Amino acid sequence: MSIPRKKFGGQLPTRLNSSDGRHETLLGNLNVARVTLGLISDTLGPFGMSKAVLKKKKGNKSSDLLVTSHGASVLENTRTEHPVARLLAGLAKAQKDENGDGATSAVVLACSLLINAVELLNMGLHPSTISEGYGAAQQKATDILRGISSEIDPTDYETLHDIVKSVLTSRVIVGSPKISELFTDFVVELARSLALSSPLDLDNVRIVKKLGGSLADSELMLNGFLLDDREVTHPNMPLKVEGVSIALLNSLEVKRLPSKSVASPLESVKIETTELDEYREFLRSRAELAKNMADKINNTGANVVLVNMGIDELVEHYLSRHRILAVKRVKSEDMELIARLTQGIVVGSADDLTPDKLGKAGSVEEIRFRDEERSVMISGCKGKGTATLILRGSSKHVLDEGERSLKAALRVIVKLLDDPRITFGGGATEMELARGLRSYALTFTGKEQFAVQQYSRALEAIPRILAENAGLDVVETIASLRKSHGSGQSWFGVEAIQGRVADMREVKVFDPLIVKLNVIKAATELAIMILRISGIGKARKKRKKDEGSTDEAGERERKEDVEEAKEKNTINPRMNTPPIE
């Protein structure tokens, strides 16, 4: 595998100044960090590039295409055999799932710390000494970060708008001003409406993806619900009902005769008869039971029926006579959300239904996004706490990337409402931390001083990459930022949109403090963990009794590894050091 040379972070030597096999293993690990950094560094920032990844489907020879600018998604879906690459991919995924944003920054920082450790190792520092220095630097950076942060009012929706927009601007698919503004409005409106009385729960926010149109055609239903891929069950039922009273039931299936000998309404009955009159009586009794079920529902005042299981055809027929709209096979989780939204109660059958258990809504209507796609929209509900985002897009890739962007922004807003402290974006925070750590390093008299200095250099990798991706002169940008921060202007960072160094307060580029704290902590801990790895092995597969001797099994396993590495074009896990060009 050819290893690309990247100018940021420096080039690694082909070997360390030691013949120790542990250092050779460590060099291999650090080379993997450099490859990983080169893979995702150009996805960072507003002008980050997208990656196309072929995902092989399980049990299928065909592949699915993923196009994304999310560093976490790129690493998560890129096949790799090296344990360090897997650790870095796990870091990105954990950051994405926990905080929504900062996954690429966390991997960039972790990789930069590992790359800068090579110089320290060549100076004679032991990995334990480097780890101690990195740990001290991380603790000091955390203290500085808390000191330069500021608290905002969670009800200041203008500031929330600026923060969410900063998150979405770095997503290439939604990077256009119109779509970015639309998605930002969606997220802030969700925070305004759903987080007033209780913490914002993302499980109560449904994102429904529909092909057709563009992302600009997406819409938010705050007081409504969309039953995706569901339709009105009978052709004679109304397709739209206003002034809705909704009956929520588990089942409307007729599976018993009206006989005292059968106790359960869900017990199946097998009828065998050779007499026509008996068969007619059976059909009459069954129709009577179905009619009674429909009449009971109608007598409660319900004009819409949603059923978790099935609806008998005869029941559908009699419900249509009453002009009642019915939908069957509604998911259990959807039934619970609709019950909360309409303030109704889910009951087992028509016998348990009473007027006080009905939900209320403004209207229920069957809609079509395309000819073959039907859905049922419930709007004008009286309850609160749930919302539906209808995401439109011209292709599956656009819809998937839009969904990832929205989920990232939603996770960020949840974290921000929990801890309403912010710092400056655009690399301003990292530059200020680097400045503080350079001064802090001088307080050490031991070798840890050099580790702290390399930590400060690693922090500057983020504004360096932002400047490089924006097409700016990296050296001039970093020099200008160092001058600004040295004169006390701690809020100056890279303004990539206009291509300049600017005051982040004026351009309104902010990041939640909790995201920055987690990035620094997670990246440092992982870098220290990798620095302490002295060897890499692969667990031996369990050998069956008929597989021959141990030597034969080992040779066969080695050949399998070689063939697998060739096929996947990845770093062989049995090799201590990846090939270097």
Give the tens place of pLDDT for each residue, 300-331.
999 999 999 989 889 999 999 999 999 999 99
Distance CA 438, CA 431 (A): 11
| Residue 415 vs residue 13, higher pLDDT | 415
Give percent above pLDDT 70 in the chain.
81
pLDDT tens digit string along 48-90? 888 888 876 665 555 678 888 788 888 888 888 888 989 999 9
Count of Cβ atoms closer than 10 Å to residue 195 Cβ: 16
| pLDDT score for 559 | 65
Helix 428-441, helix 448-459: angle, nearest 10: 170
Distant-in-sequence, close-in-space partners of 179: CB < 8 Å, separation ≥ 6:
215, 216
Phi-psi region of 102 (alpha: psi -120 to 50; beta: other; left: phi over 0): left
Token reading at 542: 């369990």
The rounded distance, in Å, linking the Cα atoms of 536 and 83 is 8
Fold of 21-151+422-531: GROEL; domain 1 (1.10.560)
Q: ∠ CA(251), CA(253), CA(254), 5° rounding? A: 140
Q: Checking phi first, is residue 213 left (phi over 0); if not, alpha (psi -120 to 50) or beta?
A: left
Higher pLDDT, 282 or 77: 77
Distances (CA, A) of 1 to 33, 84, 230: 15, 16, 50
Dist. CA 433–CA 142, nearest whole Å = 9
Q: Extract the runs of DSSP E, i.e. beta strands, from 371-470.
A: 373-379, 387-393, 421-424
Looking at the DSSP assignment, which residues form a beta bridge with residue 383?
A: none
Residue 249 · residue 349 · CB < 8 Å: yes
Domains of the chain by residue range: 21-151+422-531, 155-188+202-213+388-419, 225-383
CATH architecture of 225-383: 3-Layer(bba) Sandwich (3.50)
Measured CA to CA, the distance from residue 174 to residue 570 in angstroms comes to 32
* Cα distance between residue 252 and residue 293, in whole Å: 8
- Answer for the pair 137, 117: CB distance below 8 angstroms, yes or no: no
Quick one: which of 398, 414, 420, 512 has its CA closest to 105? 512
Q: What is the mean pLDDT of the chain?
A: 81
What is the three-class DSSP state of 204? helix
Compute the radius of gyration of the chain from its Cα atoms.
31
Q: Pick the more confident residue, 108 or 388.
A: 108
Measured over the CA atoms of residue 399, residue 401, residue 407 and residue 413, the dihedral's sign is: negative
Nearest to 203 by CA among 347, 442, 387: 387
Q: Which of 114-123, 244-253, 334-343, 368-377 is predicted with the least confidence, judged by mean pLDDT?
A: 368-377
Residue 454 banded pLDDT, cuts 50, 70, 90: very high
Largest CA distance in the chain: 104
Q: How many helices (H) and strands (E) does the chain have?
A: 18, 17
- Is pLDDT of 562 > 70? no
pLDDT category at 265 given cuts 50, 70, 90 is very low
Alpha-carbon distance values, 326 to 292, 311, 323, 343, 350 (Å): 16, 9, 10, 18, 13
Say how far apart CA 500 and CA 472 lie, in whole Å. 8
CATH number, span 155-188+202-213+388-419: 3.30.260.10
CA-based nearest residue to 376, from 332, 318, 326 = 326
Portion of the chain with pLDDT greater than 90, in percent? 32
Q: Which residues, 6+ apart, have CB-to-CB distance to 561 below 8 Å?
A: 538, 572, 573, 574
Helix axes 396-418, 513-531, angle to 10 degrees: 100
At 477-496, the pLDDT tens digits run: 999 999 999 898 888 999 88
CA 55 – CA 68 distance, rounded (Å): 13
Residue 465 identity: I
pLDDT given for residue 474 in this prediction: 92
Instruction: Give the Cα separation of 189 and 195 in Å (integer).
Output: 10
The rounded distance, in Å, linking the Cα atoms of 525 and 37 is 17
Ordered DSSP codes for 68-128: E--HHHHHHHS----HHHHHHHHHHHHHHHHHSS-HHHHHHHHHHHHHHHHHHHHTT--HH
Query: Which pLDDT belongs to residue 101?
Result: 84
Classify each residue of 418-427 as buried b or exposed e, where b means 16 or more C-beta atoms within 10 Å of its C-beta: eebbbbbbbb
> pLDDT digit string (tens) for 153-203?
878 888 888 888 888 877 655 556 788 888 888 888 888 777 655 566 777
